[in-house]
């Protein structure tokens, strides 16, 4: 089996942040505008995610559209899980942030204990793939909870949020360039892109009187989805060309 997941390139991070925004605004849109309610919306998205992950697991190699479809759906479901805990079960954001952190550490621990590596460059077995996607789901849930906690506890709005989370990601990048552990910095950045993507989405979608650009959730999601589709199409074409050359 070839590596089933992409390397962390600039395009990777661009799509990841946009997928995060679409996850946040998409989850809101489905719950509020489509009027299906949070429970039914959550069930539909979870079912879709399971179906897409089943296809991703059975694929013989990395397919960008499949991978990124799974990430967008995980982004929506990860957000819905945290929202359900916070709004439905009234779990404190301090508790959910701590719980997701512990779960994430335990999953990394189990991953390392069985595979002796946490590298994303060798997701070549179904078991490693299972660890990988579990981690991805947990980073989205943790990113949502810690981002919401920043809003609740510190009054961190999206305008400051964009700056703060960008600065934190920049700090992680500098640490990586200075020789900090590549695996650790990758996953830290992965968690931080969740609140960054949410703040960015809010900045575009929120009304002008509130300091946003006033695009609304529908236009913002549509713009980001379009960019995601274009970038994924570029990746797919690039891969075809490479495969053709290899043949």
Which residues of this protein are in contact with another protein, per CB under 8 A? Answer: 28, 32-33, 94, 97-98, 101-102, 104-105, 108-109, 112-113, 118, 142, 146, 149-158, 160, 164, 167-168, 181, 184, 187-188, 191, 198, 202, 205-207, 210-212, 216-217
Nearer to another protein, 1 or 40 (CB): 40
Contacts of 193 (CB under 8 A, 6+ apart): 13, 16, 17, 20, 143, 169
Please, are residues 13 and 193 in contact by the beta-carbon 8 Å criterion? Answer: yes
Tell me whether residue 144 is exposed, middle or buried, using C-beta atoms within 10 angstroms of its C-beta: 0 to 12, 13 to 18, 19 or more: buried
Nearer to another protein, 39 or 167 (CB): 167
Nearer to another protein, 70 or 202 (CB): 202
Nearer to another protein, 99 or 231 (CB): 99
Q: How far is the CB of 107 from another protein (least distance, A)?
A: 9
Q: How far is the CB of 17 from another protein (least distance, A)?
A: 16
Q: How far is the CB of 112 from another protein (least distance, A)?
A: 5
SS3 labels along the chain: CCCCCCCCCHHHHHHHHHHHHHHHHHHHHHHHCCCCHHHHHHHHHHHHHHHHHHHHHHCCCCCHHHHHHHHHHHHHHHHHHHHHHHHHCCCCHHHHHHHHHHHHHHHHHHHHHHHCCCCHHHCCCHHHHHHHHHHHHHHHHHHHHHHHHHHHHHCCCHHHHHHHHHHHHHHHHHHHHCCCCHHHHHHHHHHHHHHHHHHHHHHHHCCHHHCCCCCHHHHHHHHHHHHHHHHHHHHHHHHHHHHHHHC
Q: How far is the CB of 15 from another protein (least distance, A)?
A: 22
Nearer to another protein, 66 or 184 (CB): 184
Q: How far is the CB of 76 from another protein (least distance, A)?
A: 16
Q: How far is the CB of 44 from another protein (least distance, A)?
A: 19
Nearer to another protein, 57 or 94 (CB): 94
Q: How far is the CB of 11 from another protein (least distance, A)?
A: 25
Nearer to another protein, 49 or 76 (CB): 76
């Amino acid at each position: 089996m070839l590596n089933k997941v992409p390397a962390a390139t600039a395009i990777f991070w661009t799509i990841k942040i946009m997928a995060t925004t679409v996850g946040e605004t998409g989850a809101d849109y489905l719950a509020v505008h489509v009027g299906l309610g949070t429970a039914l919306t959550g069930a539909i998205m979870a079912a879709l995610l399971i179906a897409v992950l089943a296809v991703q697991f059975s694929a013989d190699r990395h397919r960008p559209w499949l991978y990124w479809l799974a990430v967008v759906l995980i982004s929506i479901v990860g957000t819905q899980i945290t929202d359900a805990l916070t709004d439905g079960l009234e779990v404190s954001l301090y508790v959910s942030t701590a719980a997701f952190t512990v779960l994430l550490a335990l999953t990394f621990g189990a991953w390392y204990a069985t595979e002796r590596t946490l590298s994303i460059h060798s997701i070549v077995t179904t078991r490693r793939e299972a660890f990988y996607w579990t981690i991805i789901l947990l980073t989205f849930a943790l990113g949502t909870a810690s981002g919401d906690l920043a809003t609740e506890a510190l009054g961190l709005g999206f305008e400051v949020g964009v700056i703060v989370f960008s600065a934190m990601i920049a700090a992680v990048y500098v640490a990586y360039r200075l020789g900090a552990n590549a695996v650790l910095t990758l996953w830290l950045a992965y968690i931080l892109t969740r609140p960054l993507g949410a703040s960015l989405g809010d900045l575009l979608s929120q009304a002008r009187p509130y300091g946003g650009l006033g695009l609304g959730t529908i236009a913002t999601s549509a713009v980001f989805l379009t960019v995601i589709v274009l970038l994924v199409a570029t990746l797919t074409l690039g891969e075809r060309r490479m495969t053709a050359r290899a043949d």
